[in-house]
Amino acid sequence: MKCPFCNPDGEALLYEDGLIKILLDSYPASKGHLLVVPRRHVESWEGLRDGEKLALLRGMELAMEKLREVLRPDAFNVGMNLGREAGQTVPHLHLHVIPRWNGDCRSPRGGVRKAVLDLEDENLNLKERWERNRLSGEEVEKLRAAFNRPLHAPEGET
């Protein structure tokens, strides 16, 4: 299958430079939903070079600037689906820039956090949601250790 981001429809292509392209999303979540993609066919974040990562952020800024200029949105959701389980369907990394307007949905609260909400979750109160999704103490400690930030400094450190 031809990659839709390596070979975008000419009409969808809004911007390109040496490192990135900015495209219209084919199935927009809102009016003006854009995609910022690395020019190189890279599937995962880890596959990007540092310069490409920076270029994606610059592309996000550029996309927001032009959308503000043209469509005057009130706000944005920005996000990436990294991996199939997270909803990535095109195996060419892309960053979504989704303009938002006052009143465009009944309850904007949660924003990109709604990525994992289903109808059942929506009926959970905050405490129930916390109980369902919280990490165990051990998991938190492992995560802290991975970041090298133990809650209790090892002996000898202050």
Smallest separation, CB 5 to Zn ion (Å): 5
Instruction: Point out the catalytic residue in the list 33, 92, 94, 152.
Output: 94
Q: Does 92 bind Zn ion (CB under 5 A)?
A: yes
At residue 52, the 3 state secondary structure works out as helix
Residue with Cβ nearer Zn ion (91 or 111): 91
Smallest separation, CB 17 to Zn ion (Å): 16
Smallest separation, CB 155 to Zn ion (Å): 51
Tokens 């469509």 belong to which residue? Answer: 71
What residue is closest to Zn ion based on CB?
Answer: 3
Residue with Cβ nearer Zn ion (92 or 114): 92
Q: Give the residues across from 147 on adjacent strands.
A: none
Concerning whether 94 is annotated as a catalytic residue, the answer is yes
Q: How many residues bind Zn ion (CB under 5 A)?
A: 5
Report d(CA 29, CA 40) in Å as an integer: 25
Q: Give the residues across from 98 on adjacent strands.
A: 77
Q: Name the amino acid, one letter, at 82.
A: L
Closest Cα to residue 21, out of 9, 3, 37?
37
Site mask for Zn ion (CB under 5 A), range 35-64, x = bound: ------x-----------------------
Q: Does 117 bind Zn ion (CB under 5 A)?
A: no
Phi-psi category of residue 103: left, alpha or beta, with phi > 0 → left and psi -120 to 50 → alpha: left
Q: Does 29 bind Zn ion (CB under 5 A)?
A: no
Phi-psi category of residue 110: left, alpha or beta, with phi > 0 → left and psi -120 to 50 → alpha: left
State the catalytic residues. 94
The contact set with Zn ion (CB under 5 A) reads: 3, 5-6, 41, 92
